[in-house]
Each structure stands twice: as structure tokens, then as C-alpha cells.
Amino acid sequence: MKKKISKLLIGTNNRGKYKEIKDLLPKYIKTHSTSEFKLKSPREDGLTFIENSIIKSKYFSKKTKLICLADDSGLEIDILDKRPGIYSARWGGKKGDFKKAINRVYSELSKKDKNWKHKKVKARFICALSIFYLEKKIATTLGKVEGHISAKPKVMDVNSKKIIVDKNFNIKKVLYT
């Protein structure tokens, strides 16, 4: 019989992301944040969303001796050769300013094609999740939501998902299915 997880470290220093993940988990799971342990994020030098997710979950688990769930997510835009991809957060600068990142996306699209706003620019939001306990990988998964870049940001509450349009957009489904 598999044992249920009763304590879980959510491997992020982003308070909004911490709350978002915590709210999706069953209430019986006691969650911990990296700030409780005064941990900075590790260097994300993986080449894929899954690799970066594993880097974080493994690092935080080893530091705290807790089971850790971590993610890596971002936006891929076809006409930008799948950029920003794993560098999505970096497009927002050191402080992770997502308005800045969105403006850069629009700027890069305009450099590539001045008429991009009148076309359906294919893109996808990708989220990789991993769960580690010390050196043992428990699970990894990758989810994608296909869509198009909107000419103006839509009102949504999470990062690069502000500019991707999908008629059945469901944030919980995007991140955690």
C-alpha cells in the first residue's frame, strides 16, 4: 500500500506560485515554503523545463529533508523559434517583472513580423512538475496548453499565461494535469 504524502515543501520563492500550488493540494497535506528555511533557489541550468524542475525539487528536498514539489514553466512561441522557453522568467529581468517580459515578447514579435497582431501566432504555455525526496525521484510530469498570442494582455493572474489565449483556459488544468 502506498503511503500518502502528509508534509510537502513547495519548491519556489515566488509567493504567488506557492499559494497557487498550495490551494490545489488536498487540505490534509501540511505545506512548507522555502522561505521557512531561508533557502535561495538553485541555479537553473537545465536545458528543458523538466530538467529545471528536477534541479529545484532535488535541491530543496536535500536541503530540508522533506518531500519537495517544484515546477518550471514558460511560454514557447513558434515564430520566435520557441523562445522565450525555459528563459521566460528571465525575460522579466532580475526582479521577474512580468509586464517587462510581456513587453519583450511583443517587441520580439514585432521585430520578426510587423503584422503579427493580425495573425494567429501559435504558442503554448508549458509547465513541468517534479517531486523528489532526497535523491529519489517520485514523479515528473509535463503539461502544455496550445493557443495563440493575443494582441493585448488578457486579465489573468499568472506570469506568461497573460498573453496566451485558449478558449477553454483553466489555470488549474494547465498547471497540474
Q: What's the pLDDT score for residue 19?
A: 92
- If one counts the domains in the chain, the total is 1
Q: What's the pLDDT score for residue 147?
A: 87
Q: Which stretches of the chain are DSSP H helices? A: 15-24, 49-64, 98-112, 171-176
CA dihedral 78, 79, 83, 88 (to 10 degrees): -80
User: What pTM did the predictor assign?
Assistant: 0.83
43-69 pLDDT, tens digit per residue, is 999 999 999 999 999 999 999 999 999
Phi first, then psi, for residue 33 (nearest 5°) are: -110, 160
Tell whether the model's pLDDT for residue 176 goes beyond 80.
no
Of 23, 71, 72, 81, which residue is the catalytic one?
Answer: 72
User: Is residue 79 domain-resident?
Assistant: yes
User: Is residue 2 domain-resident?
Assistant: no
Tell whether the model's pLDDT for residue 116 goes beyond 50.
yes
User: Is residue 87 domain-resident?
Assistant: yes
User: What CATH number does residue 85 fall under?
Assistant: 3.90.950.10
**SS3 label, residue 163:** helix
Burial class (CB in 10 A: 0-12, 13-18, 19+), 84: buried
In this prediction, residue 154 has a pLDDT band, given cuts at 50, 70 and 90, of low
Q: What's the pLDDT score for residue 1?
A: 52
More confident residue, 139 or 152: 139
- Per the structure, the complete domain to which residue 98 belongs is given by 7-176
Tell whether the model's pLDDT for residue 156 goes beyond 50.
no
8-37 pLDDT, tens digit per residue, is 999 999 888 899 899 999 999 999 999 999
Active site residue 97: no
